[in-house]
Amino acid sequence: MEELKAALAGETDDRKRAKLEKKMSKLAKFMSKLEVQKNAPKKENQKEKKKIEFEEGEFVPEGEKKEVDKLNGQFNPKSVENGWFSWWNKKGFFTPEYKTKASNGKMFSIVLPPPNVTGSLHIGHAMMASIEDTIVRWKRMQGYKTLYLPGTDHAGIATQVVVEKSLEKKGIYRKDMTREEFLEKVWAWKEQYGNQISNQFKSLGTSLDFTREKFTMDADVSHAVTEAFVRFYEDGLIYRGNRLVNWCAKIQTSLSDLEVDYQMVEPYGKITTDGKEYVLGRIFTIAYDVEVDGKIEKIHVQTTRPETIFGDVALCANPNDSRFARFKDAVPINPLTQERMRFVFDEAADMSFGTGVLKITPAHDPVDFEVGERHKLEMISVLDINNRMTVGPFKGMLRFDAREATVKELQAIKVLVKEEGHSSNIPICSRTGEVIEPRLAPQWWMNCQGLAKKALEASQSGALRIVPDEMTKTWEGWLSNIKDWCLSRQLWWGHRIPAYTRNGQWYITRTKEEAEAQAGGPVEQEEDVLDTWFSSGLWPFSTLGWPKETEDMKTFYPTSLLETGKDIIFFWVARMVMMGISLTGKCPFSTVLFHSIVRDAKGEKMSKSKGNVIDPVDVISGITLESLLAKLKSGNLSQNEADKATVSITQEYPAGIEACGSDALRYALLSSASLGRDVNLSIDKVTSCRRFCNKIWNGMKFALAQKAAPDSKEVRKGSFEYISDRWIESRFRKAVSSVNASLESSNFMKASVDVHQFMVYEFCDFYLEMFKGRKDPSGITTLQTVSLEFIKLIHPFFPFLTEEIYQAMQKAWNIEGYTWMESITVEDYPSSREETDEDKEELHQIEAIIEFIKDARSKISTRDKTDKVLIKLSKITEELSTHQDTLKRLIGIQIECTSEGTFTESAAGIEYSLV
């Protein structure tokens, strides 16, 4: 500034002096602005203050109704969502006994797929709850007697593993505890996390009837489990057999095929298991001596598991393979044990793989087991429950250490022909990540063939509808090739199998006393527990009181709908249908709706180890980066996984996650819910939906502020005000019709788009602009009616926001002839009506005028300069000539209606020009 002053003092040229003075003036203004900014509070502090206000919210006593007189400021999810759920719950709005405004005697019931009590809810649960609750609230407002039944699953393996890990961090190990002591710890875990899960569903606004909440190990549900097991046993479907199981040595239990994942290992690829890293991507060619026609010949056999040669009992070729026809009476010799074996022919041998000959180890391979069963071969186990060798010179070695030792031995005796890299699909325990060992063990099994046939008949006859349709093929494929179900698990947490033994004899009874009466003395109960999915398979009816014929069972079973993730179609859905039909004679639900799997913004599967898991509570309430990282450290990840996740979280959420509220999260999920396709969800999507909540808030706040003037005149039919009111009523009816149709067809994305389209582009951006300045009673009535009906329309999507607005409207408005309800949750849902021919003709003209206005505004925005709009007079536009001031405000420039001139533009039959 001083340099400019000096330059000005020495300048004599007027033009240059003027430029210098202008520069000095600009600089002075800039310096003044800097001074103001310097003295103003820092933006960071302002943000921090706003955040603190947001976190505090308004205190509402538990179960008390929040008083809402008006809508203040901007939309604040914490303030808006605070208090409503506890009041809803206390008033009993979500019980089927409560009479809604539109009660019609129809019934709708749905059970919540019970989350595991292994921790908190994840984003997939939020998707499930958002879809289900939208349907339930919609049905309730339509007058249906609704039951939405909540509960949690004991999740045998998953919960036991998590609790064991938690205890191990404190230096406590299950092996040092009695069964009773360990179960006390698990029940304490269940109480903590079961309550946490219920509270999270409440924070999502899920209108569950918590007076009927269930847990899979409640006494009445456990009674149903015992009853089901005994009935299936008495029907000859459950049996005890020594069969091959998927064994996880780390948790010392068998697993169903559905609990086994597969990891592809490339040639010479490595996997960490049994506490070490091993090279598993290899295949070995071994020369077996075979006695045939009194001579010894060599047959080359390929295997990926040389350590199991100690359990070999046969070689096998395909009966159609002419190369080995002469080996019918051949006697192979085991190269490591020198035991004489059998040569069998079975179609399990693939003529195109390797040499076409298999080594058969029935106790350690599923295919070999089936061959062994068919040919009555001996079954020799060579590994114990800890994956250590039980036979041969390598007894006591871990299986893959024994593999290396076996390979060296095969080399030493000169029967190892070659070793090659080989791609292998390795079975992995879905709970622990350990390599599964096929193991022969006595287990309880269930024959599912007959049950599967009935489940197929249900879907094929239409008794069960599967949505989306493409899931039907998956459904039919699995049920058509179903295998027997291994029911027993070697765990402590779960339903103990109601089987009792005495002197080697088993008794399957409902109580121990019954078993002792049958056995004639004391009995011991089976130590194993049932597969979690056995009790889950009874969920739709065990929660309603089965096997008793309760009122709930009579009223709500079969349920109307099952909504769940497509990833558990086999685990859960198929078993519910099979068990429901068998035990109750009815399909447990008429429709099954599979929702999308939620992935991160990049389309990757969410995983704690990747650091890309979105916790719904964090999105609802907001969370700092520091708190996100603290949560990560408190989890069960390894140090390596935790380090990788820390980097990912820090990059993705450098400032933490903004508090978006439950309604915004629900809407983000619903607007992404494309049936049959996975959903990529980002936090940006949710924050965008929070802004939409704010748009609704501001639009309704404007509506609440409008009052009719006592001396204002009523609008006349045909006037522009009348046209705008009729137009918004028409557009709203179309939105109602479309949203109802979309919800009926489970198209939540389309329903969400319809809601957004109406609110943003028709109600706020257009109608409210046309409405400004009006005080006439009919206009106020239209505004109030459409606003009220709109928040009822969107209530299933935005339960908290709409309740807040509804209560404010009820305080502010006295709509003639309208009966207000205590809560919007029990209001009636908007329904569309058929328009008369007269209505259609009138609305055709109205739509034309509105389309013209939109078209003109759009084209003016693309031009550098437009002075006015010339509109050609016609039957449609003659009324416009008397409302040129209103049109000028809407379009932004002068309007002139004329019958003369050249008209270059056209919209909906209205000709006009921009000049």
pLDDT digits (tens, 9 = 90+) for 249-282: 999 999 988 789 999 999 999 999 999 999 999 9
Residue in 691, 142, 239 with CA at minimum distance from that of residue 446:
239
Q: What is the DSSP letter of 623?
A: B
d(CA 798, CA 138): 12
Which position has the higher pLDDT, 290 or 430?
Answer: 290
What CATH class does 257-436 carry?
alpha beta
Range 613-625 average pLDDT: 90
Are β-strands 238-248 and 253-255 bridged in parallel, bridged antiparallel, or unpaired?
A: antiparallel
- Range in 521-530, 584-593, 630-639, 779-788 with the lowest mean pLDDT: 630-639
pTM for this entry: 0.84
**Residue 30 pLDDT:** 47
d(CA 735, CA 759): 10
SS3 587: coil
Condensed to tens digits (0 to 9), the pLDDT of residues 719-771 reads: 667 778 888 998 999 999 999 999 999 999 999 999 999 999 999 988 998 88
d(CA 503, CA 320): 48
Banded model confidence at residue 34, pLDDT cuts 50, 70, 90: very low
Tokens for 862? Answer: 């693309």
Four-residue CA torsion sign, 627, 628, 629, 635: positive
**Residue 43 pLDDT:** 42
Condensed to tens digits (0 to 9), the pLDDT of residues 575-600 reads: 999 999 999 999 999 999 999 888 88
Q: Which residues contact 304 (CB under 8 A, 6 or more apart)?
A: 280, 282, 283, 284, 422, 424
Q: What is the DSSP letter of 762?
A: I
Are β-strands 905-907 and 598-599 bridged in parallel, bridged antiparallel, or unpaired?
A: unpaired
Tokens for 235? Answer: 């029907």
- Range in 11-25, 594-608, 843-857 with the lowest mean pLDDT: 11-25
**Residue 31 pLDDT:** 52
219-237+447-552 CATH pick, 3.40.109.10, 3.40.605.10, 3.40.50.10860, 3.40.50.620: 3.40.50.620
β-sheet bridge partners, residue 110: 148, 561
Q: Is the pLDDT of residue 897 over 90?
A: no
What is the separation of C-alpha 372 from the centre of its chain, rounded to a whole number of angstroms? 43
- Range in 327-341, 361-375, 512-526, 631-645 with the lowest mean pLDDT: 631-645
Q: Is the pLDDT of residue 605 over 50?
A: yes
**Residue 50 pLDDT:** 35
CA–CA distances in Å: residue 36 to residues 29, 42, 781: 11, 11, 47
Range 232-261 average pLDDT: 93
Q: Which residues contact 875 (CB under 8 A, 6 or more apart)?
A: none
* Domain range summary for the chain, segments of one domain joined by +: 2-39, 219-237+447-552, 257-436, 848-915
Fill in the amino acid letter for 834: E
Q: Average pLDDT, whole number, for the chain?
A: 88
Residue in 504, 547, 552, 572 with CA at minimum distance from that of residue 232:
547
H/E stretch holding 891: helix 884-891
**Residue 89 pLDDT:** 96
205 and 132 Cβ atoms separated by less than 8 Å: no
Residue in 492, 485, 501, 484 with CA at minimum distance from that of residue 528:
492
Query: ∠ at Cα 672 (730, 683), nearest 5°?
Result: 120
d(CA 869, CA 860): 9
Q: Is the pLDDT of residue 54 over 70?
A: no
d(CA 143, CA 139): 7
194 and 152 Cβ atoms separated by less than 8 Å: yes
Tokens for 214? Answer: 């269930």
* Cβ neighbours of 182 (radius 10 Å): 21
Banded model confidence at residue 804, pLDDT cuts 50, 70, 90: very high
Banded model confidence at residue 55, pLDDT cuts 50, 70, 90: very low
CA–CA distances in Å: residue 804 to residues 75, 800, 809, 848: 11, 6, 9, 36
Q: Is the pLDDT of residue 399 over 50?
A: yes
- What is the number of helices (H) and of strands (E) in the chain? 30, 33
Residue in 846, 836, 726, 864 with CA at minimum distance from that of residue 786:
726
Fill in the amino acid letter for 846: I
Tokens for 296? Answer: 């010894």
Q: Beta strands of 757-875 (E only): which ranges? A: 868-872
Residue in 726, 813, 816 with CA at minimum distance from that of residue 770:
726
d(CA 572, CA 733): 40
**Residue 42 pLDDT:** 42
**Residue 46 pLDDT:** 39
Condensed to tens digits (0 to 9), the pLDDT of residues 95-131 reads: 999 988 888 889 999 999 999 998 778 888 999 999 9
Residue in 208, 26, 35 with CA at minimum distance from that of residue 113:
208
Burial class (CB within 10 angstroms; exposed 0-12, middle 13-18, buried 19+) of 387: buried
Residue in 889, 853, 890 with CA at minimum distance from that of residue 871:
853
**Residue 836 pLDDT:** 64
The rounded percent of the chain whose pLDDT value lies above 70 is: 88
Q: Is the pLDDT of residue 309 over 80?
A: yes
724 and 695 Cβ atoms separated by less than 8 Å: no
860 and 891 Cβ atoms separated by less than 8 Å: yes
360 and 344 Cβ atoms separated by less than 8 Å: yes
Range 142-164 average pLDDT: 93
Look at phi and psi of residue 143 and say left if phi exceeds 0, alpha if psi is from -120 to 50, else beta: left
**Residue 837 pLDDT:** 64
Which position has the higher pLDDT, 634 or 163?
Answer: 163
Secondary structure string (H, E, C) spanning 627-671 = HHHHHHHCCCCCHHHHHHHHHHHHHHCCCCECCCCHHHHHHHHHC
* Cβ neighbours of 448 (radius 10 Å): 20
CA–CA distances in Å: residue 93 to residues 148, 211, 212: 12, 11, 14
- Range in 2-6, 193-197, 241-245 with the lowest mean pLDDT: 2-6
- Range in 313-322, 668-677, 859-868, 876-885 with the lowest mean pLDDT: 876-885
